[in-house]
């Protein structure tokens, strides 16, 4: 049993473990600007990779994952993760930022209440249970972070896949801005 694992902040790799990669086409449906996503589909750039350590299981055990979200945008919307709820809704999670600059979008599964939290080097974020969570890279360097959660949490991508998040993080005049998706879509429509 591995109780100690060396990892490298510089590239977000854990020795002896192969990360799971997500490319644009895996996440394309989540981006508001579908025309911009379609333009990038042929290149299908890598958006992020995650190494999940899920070898410890049972009551009280923890899973933990090292994520690397690359810098970039689809239209004006920053690169982001698919986002998910935990299958066991009450399960919370702690994110520890190691490098880069970004934020998390949080949205309550039942009440729809939205909040944002900065996630960056030297920042820790507590994600309460019942909150869908998505990571967004608003900087120019890779955003590297640990996520630590109960081994019983599980990942549920279904609800987020259907509803998406109510808010988007987009670049306006060179700055990251959190906006209602509906307002951003109206802006896009007005520009066409
Ligand atoms: C695991 C933790 C993260 C995410 C990673 C990718 O519970 O929340 O490691 O898996 O940020 O996001 P997603 O939504 O594609 O799993
Ligand atoms: Zn999670």
What is the band of 2 on the pLDDT scale with cuts at 50, 70, 90? Answer: confident
**What pLDDT shows up at residue 1?**
75
Q: From the alpha carbon of 157, which atom of ligand 1 is closest? A: 14
Q: Would you say the CB of residue 67 lies under 6 angstroms from ligand 1?
A: yes
**192, pLDDT greater than 80:** yes
**What pLDDT shows up at residue 102?**
98
Which residue, by CA, sits nearest to atom 2 of ligand 1?
147
pLDDT in tens, 121-160: 999 999 999 999 999 999 999 999 999 999 999 999 999 9
What is the band of 187 on the pLDDT scale with cuts at 50, 70, 90? Answer: very high
Residue 74's CATH number = 2.60.120.10
- Ligand 1: residue of 81, 96, 106 to mutate (most ligand atoms within 8 A of CB) is 81
Q: Would you say the CB of residue 107 lies under 6 angstroms from ligand 1?
A: no
DSSP characters for 126-192?
Answer: EE-TTEEEEEEE-SSS-EEEEEEEETT--EE-HHHHHH--SEEEEEETTEEEEEEHHHHHHHHHHH-
Say which ligand is closest to the CA of 161: 1
The answer to whether residue 2 sits within a structural domain is: no
**What pLDDT shows up at residue 101?**
98
The answer to whether residue 1 sits within a structural domain is: no
In terms of residue numbers, what domain contains 138? 7-191
Residue 104 CB contacts under 8 Å (≥ 6 apart), including other chains: 95, 116, 117, 119, 125, 127, 133, 134, 135, 136
Q: Is the alpha carbon torsion for 161, 44, 52, 121 positive or negative?
A: negative
**87, pLDDT greater than 90:** yes
The answer to whether residue 109 sits within a structural domain is: yes
* Distance, CA of 1 to chain centre: 29
What is the percent of the chain where pLDDT is above 70? 100
The answer to whether residue 76 sits within a structural domain is: yes
The answer to whether residue 184 sits within a structural domain is: yes
**For the chain, what is the domain count?**
1
């Amino acid at each position: 049993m591995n109780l100690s694992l060396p990892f490298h902040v510089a590239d977000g790799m854990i020795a002896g473990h192969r990360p799971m990669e997500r490319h644009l086409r895996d996440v394309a449906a989540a981006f508001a600007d579908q025309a911009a996503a379609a333009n990038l589909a042929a290149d299908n750039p890598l958006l992020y990779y995650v190494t999940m350590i899920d070898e410890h299981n049972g009551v009280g055990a923890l899973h933990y994952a090292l994520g690397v979200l690359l810098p970039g945008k689809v239209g004006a919307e920053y690169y982001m993760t698919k986002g998910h709820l935990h299958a066991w809704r009450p399960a919370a999670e702690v994110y520890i930022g190691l490098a880069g600059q970004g934020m998390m979008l949080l949205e309550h599964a039942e009440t729809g209440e939205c909040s944002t939290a900065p996630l960056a080097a030297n920042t820790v974020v507590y994600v309460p249970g019942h909150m869908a969570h998505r990571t967004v890279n608003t900087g120019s360097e890779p955003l590297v972070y640990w996520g630590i959660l109960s081994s019983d949490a599980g990942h549920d991508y279904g609800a987020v896949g259907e509803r998406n998040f109510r808010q988007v993080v987009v670049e306006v005049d060179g700055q990251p801005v959190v906006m209602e998706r509906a307002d951003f879509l109206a802006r896009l429509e007005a520009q066409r």
